[in-house]
Amino acid sequence: MCEASAYLRKDGKEELLLEMVDKVVPHEEGLMLEDIFGRRKIVKARIAELALVDHKIVLEKE
């Protein structure tokens, strides 16, 4: 499987936002995350780190 979990970094800690993320798409309000079931979440954040081997996306608030 190629999906990743998306985390939001706050105060040096990572909070899980969405699991099994399949798509990350730029959106006028930030980033749109979509999981393999089609659930979407829009987050006003930027990508801080992509750890593809670890299936991890780390975001930070803009």
pLDDT at residue number 25:
97
Residue-wise pLDDT tens digits, 15-59:
999 999 999 999 999 999 999 999 999 999 999 999 999 999 999
What is the DSSP code string of the chain? ---EEEEEEETTEEEEEEEEEEEEEEETTEEEEEETT--EEEESEEEEEEETTTTEEEEEE-
Q: 5 burial class (0-12, 13-18, 19+ CB within 10 angstroms)?
A: middle
Task: Give the residue carrying structure tokens 């930030």.
Answer: 30
Q: Delimit the domains of the chain by residue range.
A: 4-61
* pTM (whole model) above 0.95: no
